[in-house]
Amino acid sequence: MPPTTDTAVDATARARDFLGVQCLTNHALTTWLHGLPGVDQVGCEGRAAALGTRSIKADSKRWAIDTAISMIDLTTLEGADTHGKVRGLATRALTPDPADLTTPRPAAVCVYGDMVATAKEVLGDSGVKVAAVATAFPSGRASMAVKLADTRDAVAAGADEIDMVIDRAPSSPATTSPSSTRSRTSRRPAARPDSRSSWRPASS
């Protein structure tokens, strides 16, 4: 269920109070982040070494592994992807380990937008979602019209999640980021009640 206006306003007010600013901007957030203390590398390494010596029960290990599997996306994002390959990946998502049917299914199968319908056909109402990369993956270097069309096509094909690519090149920390504006605009075509969107950094 989408947040109400009151909830959104309250969250914004709390964020301003937390940062100690009157207006939320990229500059305000960057200033706050740069003011955080550095990571204690020695302390972190010592803590990791100590945890590595602890004995973890088998049941806890199984729970951790199952939880990790249930949160990942099975992904194929190759230029040579075929409908057959996507069907195979989706079928694997339904039965990750034929030798152990208790193995949980992944959260989603992630594909290019033109493969969404194929994945959806196999997954049906299994509960495994279909994620699609959009906005000119992997570089993000395309016009707004192309990015919006890319997103609309994926949503129309039945994507449950849109993974958008942010073109980081024109961003400026001292001003309102063009990337932020573009991301907000691109999210609108994905604003279906049962869909969600996330961001991937553009590949270098």
Give the chain's domain count: 1
Degrees to nearest 5, angle at CA 200 with 128 and 103: 30
CATH number, position 84: 3.20.20.70
Of 127, 181, 143, 138, which is closest to residue 163 (Cα–Cα)?
Answer: 138
Q: Is 21 domain-assigned? A: no
Q: Is residue 98 in some structural domain?
A: yes
* Residue 180, in any domain of the structure: yes
- Residue 186: per-residue pLDDT: 52
Give the per-residue pLDDT at 96.
94
> Is the residue at 185 inside a domain?
yes
Q: Is residue 87 part of a domain?
A: yes
Parent domain of 155: 47-201
Tens of pLDDT along the chain (204 residues) come to 445 555 555 777 888 888 888 888 878 888 888 888 888 889 889 988 887 888 878 888 889 899 999 999 999 999 899 999 999 999 999 999 999 999 999 999 999 999 999 999 999 999 999 999 998 888 888 888 998 999 999 999 999 999 988 776 654 444 444 444 455 445 555 555 555 655 555 554
Query: How far apart, in whole angstroms, are the C-alpha atoms of residue 122 and residue 9?
Result: 41
Within-domain flag for 181: yes
Q: Which of 134, 203, 128 is nearest to 169 (CA)?
A: 203
User: Is residue 34, in this structure, part of any structural domain at all?
Assistant: no
pTM over 0.75, yes/no: no
Q: How far apart are CA 167 and CA 190, in angstroms?
A: 18
pLDDT of residue 193: 53
In DSSP terms, which residues pair with 165 in a beta bridge?
Answer: 200
pLDDT of residue 181: 46
Contact criterion met (CB below 8 Å) for 89 and 109: yes
